[in-house]
Structure 1
Amino acid sequence: MLTGLLTPPLPEELKTAVSLLVAFVLATLIGAERQYRQRTAGLRTAVLVAVGASAFVNLGIRLTGPDRGVKTVAYVISGIGFLGAGVIMKEGMNVRGLNTAATLWCSASVGAFAGADLQLEACLVTGAVLACNTLLRPLVNAIDRAPLREDQTEATYEVQVTTAPSEAGPAQDLLVERLEAASYPVSNLVIEERGGNAINVVATLMASTVNAGELDAVIAELSRAPGIRHATWAIQNSD
């Protein structure tokens, strides 16, 4: 009791300053790693997200109290979701920026903890984020380099044949027939213009796993068929 009387609580303004400073410092650690990796959202973005989250959470708590301040945290989470969507880019079948968006989301959580005067928790989240983006990188690289058979993956498979425009109809029928005979039904079939009096007939398989030897056999058979200039198959990784 005597200690509490001798050390009065900090003014609210000073608490806010401490929260913003903690959010700034911790987000700098997260953003510096992103900047070093030359990611789309780097140092300044991570710091701004954390400081902004800290400011809004602190403001919500000061205006409405700790209980109703939870609503402010919910609004921060949804708002960061829209911001993160801006750094996600889709290039064909590939999606880039998911890790950067997730890092921004985590930076906001660091700021939210700091804004709620939970400084230790903010430090713990920062350490976890840095560990995910640094310590897990060698494991990710090792997994990516590990050989994996096609029948052990779940992906989108395409079989393509090249033929003359006048042979498009028979080529489609032959492609579907050979794939179904090999127990690989087709989910989609498109014709792509190549120019130079040639077209591609592309069949997307319904199967998400295949046997490479079976598809190679189908390709070899299609390559020998009359009117087929070239045949191949390709894999597009799923998310």
Structure 2
Amino acid sequence: MMQAPLEGLVQTGADLFLAFVLGALIGIERQWRQRTAGLRTNTLVAVGAAIFVDLALRMGGAAEAIRVVAYVVSGVGFLGAGTIMKEGANVRGLNTAATLWGSAAVGACAGAEEWAPALLAAAFVLSANTLLRPVVNQINRRPLDTGGTELTTTVYLIVARGQEGDLRDAVTEILEKGGYPIREMRMHPFGRQETEIAATLLTSSVVEEELDRLVERLEHLGDVHQVFWHQSPGE
């Protein structure tokens, strides 16, 4: 049964508003963490999915809407692929791509006037990106047997020669207090007046933002000229 034009327009506006709000909520969390697809991208994906599903419902009914949802899923798959990047042995952007799929699903529910499922879907997407993050970090920090370690993370420091002894203890303390105990520490001459300290971490995985903050602390130690970290396949 066709809705009156004004009534249908009001319902469409309500559906799109819900998709806008829920997509923005998901996007705010992504923007806060400075991910590739942030506030605007997730909002646009949710609203776009809602528009397509709403239009299909009004023009072709439920059967057409189902086909449109399938097209939305395929289209968002291509969009998500653009956020996935491979950097050496690391693959980044998988979670961002999955979040875009979640935003599209939320928008599709809103466009189909299924408000309760849209709210639940948004809640679960947000929970996956926030509540599960500490769990993932704790699991990744658990030391594994050397043979089972996929990536080895090493922190390198270029320091003034003759200061290695004092800096060794300071580096160990900062990294261990930050949750990254050292498995092995090596020292090599670096040029004529410097020494390279290579501290291999015990953990099998790291949180980049946390390790970057620890590197900044190490840079402020006296006689430290340069600090950086690198990941390589485990031996």
Is residue 2:19 matched to residue 1:18? no
Structure 1, unaligned runs of 5 or more = 1-7, 158-233
TM-score (norm 2): 0.61
* Mapped pair 1:56 → 2:89: no
Check whether the contact 2:35–2:96 (CA below 8 A) recurs between aligned residues. yes
Distance in 2 of aligned mates of 1:114 and 1:81: 20
Identity of aligned residues (%): 58
1:191: which partner in 2? none
Distance in 1, Cα, partners of 2:133 & 2:88 = 25
1:115 aligns with 2:111: yes
State the alpha-carbon separation in 1 of the partners of residues 140 and 40 from structure 2.
30
Give the corresponding residue for 2:146: 150
Tell me the CA shift for residue 67 of structure 1. Answer: 1.8
Give the secondary-structure state (helix, strand or coil) at the position aligned to 1:11: helix
CA distance in structure 2 between the partners assigned to 1:66 and 1:42 by the alignment: 31
Number of the residue aligned with 2:61: 65
> If you compute each CA radius of gyration, which structure gives the higher value, 1 or 2?
1
For 2:6 and 2:123, how far apart are their aligned partners in 1?
27
SS at match of 1:38: coil
- Match for 1:145: what amino acid? R
Is the CA contact 1:31–1:43 (under 8 Å) kept in the aligned structure 2?
yes
SS of aligned partner of 2:52: helix
Shift of the alpha carbon at 1:144? 1.1
Matching of residue 97 in structure 1 with residue 93 in structure 2: yes
Residue 134, structure 1, aligned to residue 148, structure 2:
no
Q: How many residues align?
A: 153
Note the C-alpha offset of 1:71. Answer: 0.2
Q: Does 1:29 align with 2:49?
A: no
RMSD, matched Cα: 2.2
Cα distance in 1 for residues equivalent to 2:234 and 2:147: 14
Q: Say which is worse superposed, 113-122 or 92-101, in terms of deviation.
A: 92-101
How many Å apart are 1:117 and its aligned residue? Answer: 0.2
| Partner residue in 1 for 2:233 | 235
Q: Aligned equivalents of 2:151 and 2:129: distance in 1?
A: 28
Q: Distance in 2 between matches of 1:156 and 1:143?
A: 15
Cα distance in 2, alignment partners of residues 70 and 11 from structure 1 = 23
Q: Does the Cα contact within 8 Å between 2:107 and 2:118 map onto a contact in 1?
A: yes
1:46 partner SS = helix
